[in-house]
Amino acid sequence: MTSVHSSAPNSSHPRHNASSSSAPTRHPVTIISTTYASTNTTLNPVAATIVDFINHLLDQIPLPRWAVYTIFAAGALLILLCCLCICIKCCCRGKKKKRQQKKDEKINLKGVNGKTTAALVQPDVGDVDYGTTKKPRGKLLYSLEYNATASELMVGIKQANSLKAMDLGGSSDPYVKVYIIPDKNKTCETKVFRNTLSPAFNEQFSFQISKASLLKSTAVMQVFDFNRFSKHNIIGELRVQLGNVDWNHVIEEWQDLAEPAKFEEENLGEICFSLRYVPTAGKLTVVILEAKNLKSMDVGGASDPYVKVQLTLDKRKWKKRKTSIKKKTLNPYYNESFTFDVSFEQIQRVNLVISVWDYDTMTRNDAMGKIFLGCDAAGNQLRHWADMLSNPRRPVAQWHSLLSAQQVNSTLVLKKKLPLPTKLPF
């Protein structure tokens, strides 16, 4: 005890004096407070009381100060570690809860769909587009049956085999969409089969259709890969022209899936431009006026469209110009004029290709729609071109519906680039 006292002489001396005169030794706390209030005026009386109380407590412990401090430090460290453990546990519980919620969502979705069974849709990291190389797309077993009295067409989707893998894991989540064109008033879908390249769908769909229109229609069966978090990719499709089918029997056959040609379902917007040809000067002027209802290509529902004006000569790329880029719009207005030197001999062998593109800063620009006019064109496009030729020197403007680049490219098959683009022996 004495050794401890000597280590704190400031507090011990006045305490003894005070205790002897006014208060009994049993209540050291009150005594300390009075002594400190009188001697140390710079310290807050409450803080001073606490400090002195702690000092007094330390004096009671029969250990050197350094040992006491070490014990306290170890204790604090232990408490800190405990807190850390509790925090981590709480966080983990939160995550677990979220995971559980996600699981519940999946279950709910399954219930809402009502079409799916246990083997079906569950998303995973494998739901990423995989391989766009030209590989066989697989085959589909389907059936066709027509009931003339009920005007009912039955399309059976039986099974698929050796489907192309669309996901990273080397598999797909296939389902089939069925519809009849041109009157595409009903689209049916099979269940989704998860993680398989050989699903057995065994579903049948009925379509009300008269015998007359049946013979002019086409049954479209498209096999898709389901992805929960991204666009569903088409694996391949079958198009069966119903006019060629022998309806005296039930048809059931395997067919190889073809590359999709989804021309009829896309509305890619319209474009308006004027054409003017001056035969004597050999000048063709194209004025790109405006476009409307373009496809949205960017996040946020807009696009940054610009128009490419291209001339081909004898089905080879020849001359090319571009409009400015109109940012964040689906209805751009350009009014931009392009004049090309095209002699009277050449105009008979020229095609004009107009394409709309979405400008992107970070990625490659995407084609939004295309159209071509000229000697190899048909319908509305050929009419506009003929109007231009039959009205020399006068600009002729017209609206055109944009088609998919794929469709235009398959009609206007271009040869390799012209080796001598400007000088031609005429």
Residues near Ca ion, by CB under 5 A: 127, 167, 173, 225, 227, 298, 304, 358, 360
The single-letter code of the amino acid at 16 is H
CB 228 to Ca ion: min, Å: 8
**Between 52 and 127, CB nearer to Ca ion:** 127
Q: Min. distance of Cβ 164 from Ca ion in angstroms?
A: 11
> Among residues 62 and 301, whose Cβ is nearest to Ca ion?
301
Tokens 């595409």 belong to which residue? 184
Closest CA to 332 of 285, 382, 297: 297
Q: How near is the Cβ of 160 to Ca ion at its closest, in Å?
A: 14
Toward Ca ion, which CB reaches closer, 31 or 330? 330
Angle between helices 9-21 and 28-39 (to 10 degrees): 110
Separation between Cα atoms, residue 311 and residue 318, nearest integer Å: 5
- For 307, the enclosing helix (H) or strand (E) is strand 305-313
The Cβ of residue 27 has, within 10 Å, a number of other Cβ atoms equal to 10
- Extended beta strands in 115-269, E state: 139-147, 152-161, 174-181, 187-189, 200-208, 218-225, 233-241, 251-256
Lookup result for tokens 């373009």: 294
| CB 268 within 8 Å of CB 401 | yes
CA 122 to chain centre: 18
What is the smallest separation between the CB atom of 90 and Ca ion, expressed in angstroms?
36
**Cβ closest to Ca ion, residue 58 vs residue 168:** 168
Give the H/E segment covering residue 269: none
| Omega cis (within 30) before 45 | no
- In the complex with Ca ion, the residue whose CB is nearer, 173 or 237, is 173
Shortest spacing between CB 297 and Ca ion, in angstroms: 6
> Smallest distance from the beta carbon of 231 to Ca ion, in angstroms?
10
CB of 356 to Ca ion, least distance (A): 12
DSSP 183-227: S---EEE----TT-SS-EEEEEEEEE--HHHHTT-EEEEEEEE--
Q: Can you tell me whether residue 338 is helix, strand or coil?
A: strand
- With left for phi above 0 and alpha for psi between -120 and 50, is residue 187 left, alpha or beta? beta
Measured from the CB atom, the residue of 226 and 318 that comes closer to Ca ion is 226
Which residues have CB under 8 Å from 202's CB, separation 6+? Answer: 157, 158, 159
